[in-house]
């Protein structure tokens, strides 16, 4: 079977006034990173933050690119996994950046998935009261979601991403070739975030995904289109509402349920973030149907598509025991989307018709959780 043709680079602009930046989507962008960074900030020095898995595939390419551009750098390697988003690893990264003599005019480069991007970005936001950083996302989830929009942070035993800051990158390089090195489960998990964009406000995109999902998983032009469409959707929302004071909350479709499930599984590989989002989208649509906001046919369509790509749609598909409905509700109460002690959900009136719902009756949420736990 011939290899897919190389796709042309596409640039998506995140428009935030003086802090606007480009998301470059294409192939072999890591090999070009040094040249792009040198043009972005002439004379800069760089601290690369990555993990052992990503370093094996991509760190050498990035380092050679920086050397060719005469950019001084230091690489900081961390352990892979969600547990790395911790105070101890934040301290490790911050101290390494300082030891590297990185100044305010220099850059931190996050080379990796969402964990590395969130942690490195948070470190960049606090070291010397803020240095610039560049995102080089190497997972599908990071390319379409976490690398865009400036949310950075670490986890707490109280919940996911509860400690952090808004700190926009100066540049995002989404190298599609890195997706070829992902384990199949990691790629599928990232697809949960792709599907989310169609469910929020783009029914035509969701219909396109239903038709072209196999091509997206195979690679080539369909994959590039899925990544670019997702980035455009997020960039448009972030430009309108950078700090989640309004409709940026729509991007959290599936996350209130998903984050509670991640906390319940100890942020372990029992449940990857994108898998939690996929399950959360199913539960959000089930809750919407129970509240008579959408039709059961919409729920079944969501379930069919998410299950069709191999993502979990039932809580019983999560390995190991889960807490009861009351315990899961308690975990939701620590979610960032809680306002004055009341849960805020992203619900839907149909495919592509998501909205922000406040004051949802916890009894109805508990009922949905009980039913899901019994499946």
Cα(201)–Cα(268) distance, integer angstroms: 31
Is 215 a catalytic site residue?
no
| 196 in active site | no
Active site residue 248: yes
Task: Please state at what angle helix 325-332 crosses helix 362-374, rounded to 10 degrees.
Answer: 130
Backbone angles phi, psi at 135, to 5 degrees: -100, 125
210 flagged as catalytic = no
77, 7, 3: which is closest to 221 by C-alpha?
7
* Integer angstrom CA distances of residue 230 from 190, 205, 340, 365: 11, 9, 31, 29
Catalytic choice (225, 259, 286, 337)? 259
Q: Which of 53, 161, 201, 252 is catalytic?
A: 252
The answer to whether residue 255 is catalytic is yes
- Catalytic-role residue among 160, 255, 301, 305: 255
CB within 8 Å of 304: residues ≥ 6 apart: none
Count of C-beta atoms within a 10 Å radius of residue 304: 11
Alpha carbons 343 and 158: distance in angstroms, whole number: 16
Give the active site residue among 58, 85, 151, 225. Answer: 151
**Active-site choice (223, 234, 286, 336):** 234
> Pairing mode, if any, of strands 73-78 and 159-166?
unpaired
Is 244 assigned a catalytic role?
yes
> Is residue 324 annotated as part of the catalytic site, yes or no?
no
CA nearest neighbour of 183 among 243, 138, 126: 138
Which of 58, 85, 248, 305 does the annotation list as catalytic? 248
337 as an active site residue: the answer is no
Catalytic status, residue 56: no
Catalytic residue among 58, 160, 188, 273: 273
Q: Is 67 part of the annotated catalytic residue set?
A: no
Which member of 27, 32, 82, 193 is catalytic? 193
Reported for 209-213, long-range contacts at CB under 8 A and 24+ positions apart, including other chains, are 209/305, 210/305, 213/305, 213/308, 213/309
Catalytic residue (choose from 18, 129, 292, 363): 129
Out of 82, 186, 244, 262, the active site residue is 244
How many residues are there in the chain? 375
Active site residues: 129, 151, 193, 234, 244, 248, 252, 255, 259, 273
């Amino acid at each position: 079977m011939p290899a897919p043709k190389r796709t042309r680079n596409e640039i998506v602009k995140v428009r935030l006034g003086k802090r606007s930046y480009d998301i470059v989507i294409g192939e072999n962008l890591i090999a070009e990173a040094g040249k792009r960074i040198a043009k972005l900030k002439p004379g800069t020095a760089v601290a690369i933050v990555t993990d052992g898995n990503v370093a094996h595939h991509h760190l050498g390419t990035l380092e050679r690119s920086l050397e060719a551009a005469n950019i001084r750098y230091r690489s900081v390697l961390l352990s892979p996994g969600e547990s790395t988003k911790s105070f101890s690893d934040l301290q490790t990264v911050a101290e390494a950046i300082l030891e590297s003599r990185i100044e305010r005019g220099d850059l931190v480069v996050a080379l990796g998935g969402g964990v590395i991007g969130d942690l490195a970005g948070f470190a960049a936001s606090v070291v010397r009261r803020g240095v610039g950083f560049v995102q080089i996302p190497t997972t599908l989830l990071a390319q379409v979601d976490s690398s865009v929009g400036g949310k950075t942070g670490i986890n707490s035993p109280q919940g996911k991403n509860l400690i952090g800051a808004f700190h926009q990158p100066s540049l995002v390089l989404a190298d599609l070739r890195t997706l070829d090195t992902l384990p199949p489960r990691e790629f599928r998990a990232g697809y949960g975030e792709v599907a989310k964009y169609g469910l929020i406000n783009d029914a035509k995109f969701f219909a396109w995904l239903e038709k072209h999902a196999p091509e997206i998983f195979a690679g080539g032009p369909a994959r590039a289109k899925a990544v670019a469409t997702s980035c455009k959707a997020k960039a448009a929302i972030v430009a309108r509402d950078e700090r989640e004071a309004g409709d940026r909350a729509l991007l959290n479709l599936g996350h209130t349920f998903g984050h509670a499930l991640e906390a319940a599984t100890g942020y372990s590989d029992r449940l990857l973030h994108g898998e939690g989002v996929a399950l959360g989208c199913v539960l959000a649509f089930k809750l919407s149907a129970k509240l008579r906001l959408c039709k059961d046919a919409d729920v079944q369509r969501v379930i069919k598509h998410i299950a069709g790509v191999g993502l979990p749609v039932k809580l019983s598909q999560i390995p190991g025991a889960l807490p009861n409905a009351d315990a899961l509700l308690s975990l939701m109460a620590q979610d960032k989307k809680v306002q004055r002690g009341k849960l805020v959900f992203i619900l839907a009136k149909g495919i592509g018709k998501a909205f922000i719902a406040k004051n949802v009756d916890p009894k109805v949420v508990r009922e949905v959780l009980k039913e899901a736990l019994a499946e």
